[in-house]
Amino acid sequence: VIQNKMAAAKFKIALVQLFVTANKSENLARAAKLISQAAGGGANLVALPECFNSPYGTKYFPEYAEKIPGESTSMLAKAAKDNKVFLVGGSIPEEDGGKLYNTSTVFNPEGELIAKFRKVHLFDIDVPGKIRFQESETLSPGSGLVTFDTPFCKVGLAICYDIRFPEIAQIYTRRGCKLLLYPGAFNMTTGPAHWELLQRGRALDNQLYVGTVSPARDEKASYVAWGHSTLVNPWGEVVAKAGHEEEIVYGDVDLSYVDEVRSSVPVSHQRRADLYNLQDCSQN
């Protein structure tokens, strides 16, 4: 038992920065290949990017949307089982009840679906002269926050724009998470300005690991992703980071370091509940 606890104090995560094309079957095949490669590299948990089976854009979501289970999630279930890893399936456009969602699914090493998260904050922005994007033109928001358990730690899950809302990360921390994952496709405007800053902020504020997974950059796409999938530690330091091309980024999640940081700077015990409070209104 002691040996198992020691072994579980650190685990390896792989962030798969997939190059996404307009060919869904190609995307799925490439994703399956890279998941296998990541498992071969020793990863216990593998994560794919936001919208990994489809180009990112409101005109594409209806065309590429699937039911869950469906073609893409069937591939994920098989890949998780074949490679004996926990697999966070980035996100896909999901169709359910006549509505479309930006949805992430999580599978355990037996290939079982153990979590499903629908992006709760839709990406509706308008930066004059630079970028305008309105996910709400085709997508509906999710209505719940989701964590999942692994033998290593509890993990909190959200998607891209959700990272701008620190309350989610705070709630996940209170639920016992030591790792937060955000599949996300920031762009060439918000990416260089905010991508790393937001990740470091969420990690530092909550004293945990934060992993983000972007698609690789395609300069010819209608929406150009920033890339730079990243793992940040509880001290707010970047411990692993991709460039902008397709690659797998590996990083160690050291759970004892989470405990060490939380013990050294014990903000969770120093909050003033008599002055402020955060309410968890979501059911897992």
Distance CA 233, CA 178 (A): 10
Phi, psi (rounded to 5 degrees) for 132: -130, 130
**Residue 51 is among the residues annotated as catalytic for this protein:** no
Q: Which of 24, 116, 119, 178 is catalytic?
A: 119
Q: Which of 51, 153, 160, 177 is catalytic?
A: 160
**Residue 160 is among the residues annotated as catalytic for this protein:** yes
Q: Which of 50, 66, 135, 246 is catalytic?
A: 50
Question: Length of the chain in residues, anyone?
Answer: 284
- By the 8 A CB rule, do 55 and 221 touch? yes
SS3 of the chain: CHHHHHHCCEEEEEEEECCCCCCHHHHHHHHHHHHHHHHHCCCCEEECCCCCCCCCCCCCHHHHCECCCCHHHHHHHHHHHHHCCEEECCCEEEEECCEEEEEEEEECCCCCEEEEEECCCCCEEEECCCEEEEHHHCCCCCCCCEEEECCCCEEEECCHHHHHCHHHHHHHHHCCEEEEEEECCCECCHHHHHHHHHHHHHHHHHCCEEEEECCCCCCCCCCCECCCCEEECCCCCEEEECCCCCEEEEEEEEHHHHHHHHHHCCHHHCCCCCCCCCCCCCCC
- By the 8 A CB rule, do 224 and 217 touch? yes
**Residue 177 is among the residues annotated as catalytic for this protein:** no
Known catalytic residues are 50, 119, 160
